[in-house]
């Protein structure tokens, strides 16, 4: 018995369109308080793109330092639906901030004359450090994996069930 992919390219090698949505929240679990910061309903799996999104740190994230990103991939049939109505979706969550005391570090300024080092002011108070980039990858090749002997490196990345409609209720 093998695991079959939910999405596969057609006979011409073209992948179906899917929907991608990105939410942010102060919790590792998506909820009604999650705020949508990106939506693309016509994503091609083999399409590479880059976009700039300005994210303002919510007050709660500035105080305790946590901000999570939730990337949601919606199936072809569900890509125009509201998230709570989508039957088939895959959600991945990652931490966008680190709340820590700034580390002392010297910055090198490149110039033609000489190298100059500027000291960084040491602080004992933790501050939020926001990641500047979020990478989202999708495998663009149909994989057929043996159910009994799944490679341990990818087990945590596989979602093997249709999610229940409890995500944003």
pTM of the model: 0.70
Cα–Cα distance, 129 to 144 (Å, whole number)? 39
**Which of the pair, 82 or 116, is modelled with greater confidence?**
82
Distance CA 128, CA 115 (A): 30
Q: Sign of the CA dihedral 145, 164, 29, 8?
A: positive
The residue ranking higher by pLDDT, 119 or 37, is 37
- The yes-or-no verdict on residue 10 having pLDDT over 70 is yes
Q: Are 20 and 37 in contact (CB under 8 A)?
A: no
18 close to 45: Cβ distance less than 8 angstroms: yes
Q: Is residue 105's pLDDT more than 60?
A: no
pLDDT in tens, 126-164: 777 788 888 888 777 766 777 777 777 777 766 654 443
Beta bridge partners of 129: 98
């Amino acid at each position: 018995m093998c695991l079959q992919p939910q999405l596969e390219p057609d006979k011409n090698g073209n992948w179906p369109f899917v929907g991608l949505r990105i939410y942010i929240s102060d919790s590792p679990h998506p909820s009604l308080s999650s705020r949508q910061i990106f939506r693309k309903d016509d994503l091609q799996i083999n399409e590479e793109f880059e976009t700039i999104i300005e994210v303002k740190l919510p007050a709660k994230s500035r105080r305790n330092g946590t901000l999570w990103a939730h990337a949601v991939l919606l199936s072809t049939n569900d890509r125009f639906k509201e998230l709570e109505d989508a039957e088939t979706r895959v959600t991945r969550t990652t931490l966008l901030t680190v709340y820590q005391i700034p580390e002392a570090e010297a910055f090198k300024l490149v110039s033609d004359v000489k190298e100059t080092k500027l000291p960084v002011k040491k602080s004992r108070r933790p501050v939020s450090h926001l990641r500047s980039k979020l990478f989202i990858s999708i495998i663009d090749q149909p994989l057929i994996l043996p159910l009994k002997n799944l490679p341990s490196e990818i087990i945590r990345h596989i979602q093997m069930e249709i999610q229940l409609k409890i995500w944003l209720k």
